[in-house]
Amino acid sequence: MRAPLLAALLLLPLPSLAQETREIGHVNTAITNLGLTRSHRVVVERFDDPEVRNVSCWISQARTGGLSGMLGVAEDPARFALNCAATGAVEIQPGARRGDRGEVVFESNTSLFFKETRVHRFIDEERNTVVYLAWSTRLIDGSPYNAVAVVPVR
């Protein structure tokens, strides 16, 4: 029974996620354990949208430090900011998903289990813009925190 289920899961279409995420920098917000472990910080990362050429997005996220943060078992707060910009002539590829559910273009784990920060792309054809929504997932109790960035298509 497990083999057919696994095979079915492998055949599901995967979202087109950003090819490369690059950390631009970070700032420490609080020293933990007298500086013996990684500090709490805000990290800035950049990613490019794989289905919309010449659009880059920057996301800043709070990251938990301390021993649990160093070991990767801490739960990061659902706090982030998002900005996206055209870095050239914006071209929406034919494979870019349209519709009210959008398409995931970025994911970042914010806890060991069941919590992520995601960025969805929506195409507003009426206003000729691409809209990016950052939000936090959580298995049981989702988070209301979100951020939006809009890039005009010219």
Share of the chain above pLDDT 90, in %: 40
CB 85 within 8 A of CB 55: yes
Confidence category of residue 11, pLDDT binned at 50, 70, 90: very low
Nearest residue to 108 (alpha-carbon basis) of 49, 12, 43: 43
pTM of the full predicted structure? 0.75
pLDDT class of 40 with cuts at 50, 70, 90: confident
